[in-house]
A and B are shown apart, each in its own frame.
Chain A
């Protein structure tokens, strides 16, 4: 039996009945990584050995922007070259406290999570396990690809504008972005602090509930984390959607949506209708403003967050004559093209003379976008949309046109702006054999409903059982 192919909940049963040991799981993953990762490149850096001596419970694979005590964490950027965190992020601490462990290897991502394809990694792109010439999505592309290729049992990613859900959709796995404030970001290297959220990427909805149980909860080290009770999410694994009211936003089914994605979605809606869910068309009138609002707010916050990379306390430092020269040379040589682009855009939006027209206006339109959702959730339990307008695109296809790349997040960005939870799960395959993702959104702190609808869909379909042929 190949243990690496199983889900965490299946493995937990085998561990409990003493049929296998944690070391067996680590060694199955070790073998798989050695067999396949030279093609997929989901993990970064040369060392490809897991820390199996510390094996306990189910190993979790971690995105390279989450601090792991004693293990390199470089955000896939040259500017953090050699950085070894002196402490664990709160999510890592919680994983260890729950009896599970960190695999010992970090997952590829777009530099500082700036991207939708993992092509902006200093270490080079990850390849989509379903078609190695395609991107895995991004920025948590390594996390999604590793889970899809059975090189990880489950993984942790981060989502600022869709960075968990869009790669989950491209790689045919389940990705959950929890409510803003549900999971502590302490130890996550910040991108846009009013949008960033950590969440799980898993092989099925059951594992998503299990990993959410582990990582959720208040943390005094993250003043944006919310001090409310965390429910047991496995109690939401209920195969029943009778009477659940679902809104379908008309603004999401317009030009730009791939016909194959559209028909997969329509089929999924039919399936849920037959199971008793009630559907109605709704409107989120400010949808078209989500991408422009996001690229002002996210880049403004990023430009401020990335000011800390000054070569004084950690990371790469360029040879230089004086202090200003050190900052400038280090940042020019240390940041990749997309990071520079975003820092400049954000600095511009915050600069004197442009602040009101760009940044302040974006914050106001953000309020309008949030109100759109508030209005819908007065009458509906959840909203269903495609996760991304297309299936995975080719490596290199959008690298010359940043705006085109930004638009691939068009369906995922609003959830971050509104702070609401959202999940992506597989709902089809295109004719070329690439996965299609379905996104469910609900109001703040209603992850339970997302999991219930997702679980019901999964129990009544087979899409999550498809595996890429590698």
Chain B
């Protein structure tokens, strides 16, 4: 299928990535080329074939809901780009 600049920009917005004009032009060509190759999947008949959800026959993994030791707050905040007291700080969300 054809991947124009508009599709690339829409998808980039969904993925929260900002693209320069030259980038979206280049990416639309590359993605079209890659998807063209991937299109060979449409040749196969996949009716009645189940989708693989897990490669091994395992079921849901459950455990008892019991408190365990967790990371102390100061370690959790160690890598924060911006923090104040016990919080991560982000730019204003509400005006």
Contacts and interface: CB of A to CB of B under 8 A. Distances in A.
A288 interface: yes
Interface residues of B, number: 50
Contacts of A288: 40
Interface string A169-191: 00000000000110000000000
Interface stretch (A10-18, A36-44, A128-136, A361-369): A361-369
Given A295-B34, A362-B41, A314 B80 contact: yes
A345 interface: yes
B41 A402 contact: no
B55 A365 contact: no
Contacts of B82: 317
A365 B41 contact: yes
A357 B43 CA distance: 12
A357 B16 CA distance: 24
In terms of DSSP, what is the predominant structure of the interface of chain A? helix
B54 interface: yes
B17 A335 contact: yes
B15 A292 contact: no
Interface stretch (A54-62, A81-89, A139-147, A150-158): A81-89
B56 A296 contact: no
Contacts of A257: none
Interface residues on A, range: 35 or more
B49 A367 contact: yes
Interface string B10-33: 011011111100010001001101
B2 interface: no
A341 B81 contact: no
B46 interface: yes
A468 B74 CA distance: 47
Contact of B15 (A223, A224, A347, A417): A347
Contacts of A348: 3, 7, 11, 31, 35
Interface in B40-57: 40-42, 44, 46, 49-56
B15 A344 contact: yes
Contact of B79 (A315, A340, A358): A315
Given A328-B16, A329-B18, 10 more contacts: A86-B78, A180-B56, A226-B56, A288-B40, A292-B38, A307-B16, A313-B76, A345-B34, A345-B35, A363-B52
Interface of A: 82-84, 86-87, 180-181, 194, 220, 223-224, 226, 286, 288-289, 291-293, 295-296, 303, 307, 310-317, 320-329, 331-332, 335, 340-341, 343-345, 347-348, 351, 357-358, 360-368, 370, 402-403, 406, 417-419, 444
